[in-house]
Amino acid sequence: MASKTKNLQERDGRFYARLAVPAKLKEIVGKRELLEKLGPDRRTALRKLPGVIAKMLSTLDAARLQTIAKAEPAKPRYGQILNEHQIARTYYESELFSDSEDRDAGNVRVRANSLFIKHNSKDWVESLNSIVAGLADDNTIEAMLCPIFDKLAASGHFNADVGSPEWRKLARVLAGVQTEIIERQAERNQGDLTGKPRHKLLTEPEPEPSDRLARRILGPESIKPLSELLPAFFKERNISGGNENEHEVSVRMFEEHLGEPTPLYKITRRDVLAYKAALLELPANYVKRFPDTKLPDAIIANKKRKVPYPFLAPRTVNDKWLSALRAFLNWCVQNDLIPDSPANGVKVSYQVDKGTPPRVNFDPSDLAKIFSKPLFDRLKPWGETQWAYLVSLYCGTRPSELAQVKLDSIRYEREILIMRIQEQTKNTGSQRSIPIHSELVRLGFADYVAALSMSGASHLFPKWYSDGMKALERAEVKSRLTGKKAILNHHFPKFLPKRFNQTYLPRQGENHGQAQGLLRLPPHLQDGTGTGGRFERHSR
């Protein structure tokens, strides 16, 4: 029997070209599949098939571009001084995005506090044109463009004095961009969504004929830098929290290494290899150790130190920064933004330094020291610290997860006491239910939870949670001044885990490690059997 031909389907003696529509594009295309008649003759159908499939693929490509276009434009970080091109692009894209949102929400009239409110005024447009021509005085410019200048100043993107040549020059740019926005809105009011700007700062430059990388351009998104493509990446991957911040930092570090935001299609394998080499010379925590210093300058500054700070570990370079860049570029390939990823296969080859003591698991004797008197004296009431250490031992949660656990998240399910990890986690896959170990119940965990509930507490570890949230609030205030994002999961480890690693363990004579396998506690915590950890379920 002859093998089936891909995308060719026979129904009731007639042939059709069929192409399935990816799930993420069904809403835009409006169909689950694309189907076109090819006639009753198989040979004719086979001849027509390639051309028809090519048209269908073009339809899907156009839909993919629409999904990317729906993403909110990237916003420059606070305090970043922008040039004229960046200001023009940022303002134009953000205003049109807001206009689209209003239309999608059914708001026929544009925002009352927007400059668009005067788009039908002939005098308004003429005044904008006078600013573009350099004929308007400073008072006229301030009256018309003051909200835009105030917003730029408040964000730290522009700081020239009113009336200065720089200020008047930017005013001419903004007035020109404003007229473009008014034209786009008028076109949209007529149902035309295809309008393109003519302003020289809003049009993407065509690649030079000598640009050997121009063949890598697959569409308009190919000439955008990675930082402008991040919102679409986050939206499709549903990335949030710590992972989103990690990708943002990864792109920022890569663009700092390149020297400027580089068009996606111009990123080469040589760039990624050079970035890998730079990461291997980058001091760990360089942002904190060299404030307001970009990646290449931090490397130079560290080399000038009498005793340089330690470099990033090869494993960190591989598993964190190169991995994040590789994931992003692979997404660009999957969405037909570039034909291939320049980061594929770029890894650090290294051997574990046998002279460095490995990070090993705690053995039973270590655990006997850690959970010993006087901290774990059974004759004295235990508080938050003791229970936090024990729950960490038996449940294996991240500090940021454990600190957020609410008392309502501890409950019986199918006669088994469980703890539900369901607050803000690293990703949605981290949300889970953990059976409470029988040793914790024997040691009085349920009584601890009941006492907290009677006291009116809302969380399993109220002080730890409160300290973490206060630290987050302080970070959020600082973030408004520095533009650095405040991440919830970065603050909880500063308290109980930090004291455990930096204060408690050294006092017990222990190096850092982790508990795993059979858990043996000191005799005063045992139930007479001599063992703790056989992670077994228990009945209510």
What pLDDT digit, counting tens, does each position of 446-462 carry? 999 999 999 999 999 99
CA distance 116 to 111: 7
pLDDT at 157: 78
The mean per-residue pLDDT over the stretch 180-203 comes to: 83
One-letter amino acid of 131 = I
Helix (H, G, I), strand (E, B) or coil at 416: strand
Beta-sheet strand order (sheet of 8-11): 8-11, 14-20, 33-39
pLDDT in tens, 206-260: 555 567 788 788 878 888 999 999 888 888 877 665 677 888 889 999 999 999 8
Residue-range domain boundaries for the chain = 8-69, 84-189, 222-334, 362-525
Question: Which CATH code is given to the segment(s) 362-525?
Answer: 1.10.443
Q: Is 307 exposed, middle or buried (0-12, 13-18, 19+ CB in 10 A)?
A: exposed
Owner of token pair 């229970």: 387
Rounded alpha-carbon distances, angstroms, from residue 172 to 130, 165, 182, 420: 9, 11, 16, 58
- The two tokens of residue 449 are 């939870």
Q: How far is CA 238 from the centre of its chain?
A: 9
* Stretch 136-151: mean pLDDT: 86
pLDDT digits (tens, 9 = 90+) for 246-286: 888 899 999 999 998 899 999 999 999 999 999 999 999 89
Q: DSSP secondary structure string, 114-130?
A: SGGGGTT-HHHHHHHHH
Q: Look at residue 516 in the predicted model and tell me its pLDDT.
A: 44
Residue 72 has what pLDDT?
Answer: 57
Residue (of 85, 336, 62, 74) closest to 203 by Cα position: 85
* CB-count burial class (<10 Å; 0-12, 13-18, 19+) for 361: exposed
> Mean pLDDT across the stretch 411-424?
86
Amino acid code (one letter) for 32: R
Structure confidence at residue 116 as a pLDDT band (50, 70, 90): very low
In terms of average pLDDT, the best of 52-56, 107-111, 213-217, 328-332 is 328-332
Higher-scoring residue by pLDDT: 273, 492: 273
Q: What is the pLDDT of residue 357?
A: 57
What pLDDT is recorded for position 414?
Answer: 86
Q: Is residue 397 classed as helix, strand or coil in its secondary structure? A: coil
Three-state SS at 327: helix
Residue 445 vs residue 76, higher pLDDT: 445
Strand partners, 39: 15
Residue type, 379: L
- Non-local CB neighbours of 92 within 8 Å, separated by 6+ positions: 177, 180, 181, 197, 202
Task: Supply the DSSP symbol for 225.
Answer: B
The mean pLDDT value for 494-504 works out to 81
Q: Which residues are within 8 A (CB) of 441 and not within 5 positions of it... i.e. 6 or more apart?
A: 417, 538
DSSP 498: H
Q: Report residue 228: phi and psi, to 5°.
A: -80, -15
Closest among 156, 194, 148, 150 to 173, alpha carbons compared: 148
User: Residue 348 carries which side chain, given as an amino acid letter?
Assistant: V
Q: Return all residues near 474 (Cβ < 8 A) that are at least 6 apart.
A: none
